Amino acid sequence: MASETNNKDQEENLLKYKVLEIPDTILYIPNFISEQEEKDLLDHVYSAPKPKWTHLSNRRLQNWGGLPHPKGMVAENIPQWLKIYTERIAKLGIFAGQTPNHILVNEYLTGQGIMPHEDGPLFYPTVTTISLGSSTVLDFYHHLNQCVQTSSETTSSSLENRHLTSIFLEPRSLIVVKDAMYESYLHGIDQRQEDEITDKIANLSHCQDVTTGDIRSRTTRVSLTIRIVPKVLKNKLFFGKKA
Ligand SMILES: O=C(O)CCC(=O)C(=O)O
Ligand SMILES: [Fe+2]
């Protein structure tokens, strides 16, 4: 009973961070971490051994907690400097009592981004991201098949036409993307040097110091995407001969 009351209190506390009513649900929490915590996290990310980085054409990344796999993830130890945040996020009460076991670190240089995509079935359908270093704009899009067909198919399928909403991500903020927003829409970050603040950004009233019409330059941004991989292998399979 007591835990039911706690859950209800937690849900009510989170309501003030809710950005969109439809189609449920984006929460945006400014200053989720302090400036010192941001600095410490960046120091840790940049002190990771070189082979920890995977280089992609438009960003590089580090994977912590194991490699998600349809057959199950072989879980790896999460270092303490990241555990602080998986535990802090677990306390928000958005993961049905579980603690996130996976962190993807993405680094975007100015002008880099990530193509519209969905995170897919290997993850629990709630995703949280802490932004470090620079602000950016995260865009949400309808899937191609969700678009209302107009007389011109090319127009109706262009990304611009499929745009649903955008969220301005300030450094040190946390965004939570859940439910339909996770499962039924694509998200991406445009490859741009700067972001124009327009009324297409849904969370302006939750941001610190931004007004429509502002131009925000991008610098290097590091994001920590913190999630749950539900399917974990209990033991590493042992193929070698025992001594
Ligand atoms: O950097 C971000 O905020 C988004 C990252 C993302 O969408 C992903 O890694 O799947
Ligand atoms: Fe993603």
Q: Tokens representing 100?
A: 């996130």
pLDDT of 110 reads 98
- Tell me which ligand sits closest to the C-alpha of residue 62: 1
pLDDT score for 1 = 46
- Whether the Cβ atoms of residue 82 and residue 215 lie closer than 8 Å to each other: no
C-alpha to C-alpha distance for 172 and 135, rounded to whole angstroms:
9
pLDDT of residue 153: 47
Whether residue 225 has its Cβ less than 6 Å from ligand 1? yes
What pLDDT score was predicted for residue 145?
72
**What pLDDT is stored for residue 237 in this prediction?**
57
Q: What is the pLDDT of residue 152?
A: 46
The token pair at 219 is 């610098």
CA distance 134 to 224: 13
DSSP state string for 47-106:
HS-GGGEEE-SS-EEEEES----TT-EE--PPPHHHHHHHHHHHTTT-STT----EEEEE
Please give the chain's pLDDT, 243 residues, in tens.
455 557 777 777 777 777 765 456 899 999 999 999 999 999 999 999 999 999 999 999 999 999 999 999 999 999 999 999 999 999 999 999 999 999 999 999 999 999 999 999 999 999 999 999 999 999 999 988 765 554 444 445 788 889 999 999 999 999 999 988 888 899 999 999 999 999 999 999 999 889 999 999 999 999 999 999 999 997 655 555 544
Backbone phi and psi for residue 188, each to the nearest 5 degrees, phi listed first: -165, 170
> 106: Cβ below 6 Å to ligand 1?
yes
Query: CB of 104 closer than 6 A to ligand 1?
Result: yes
What is the pLDDT at residue 159?
87
Residues with a beta carbon under 5 angstroms from ion ligand 2: 119
pTM of the shown model: 0.88
Whole-number pLDDT of residue 10: 76
**Nearest-atom index, ligand 1, CA of 131:** 3
Distance (angstroms) between ligand 2 centre and the Cα of 118 equals 6
CA of 213 to the centre of ligand 1 (A): 25
Domains contained in the chain, CATH given: 17-229 (2.60.120.590)
What single DSSP character describes residue 149? P
CB 108 within 8 A of CB 234: no
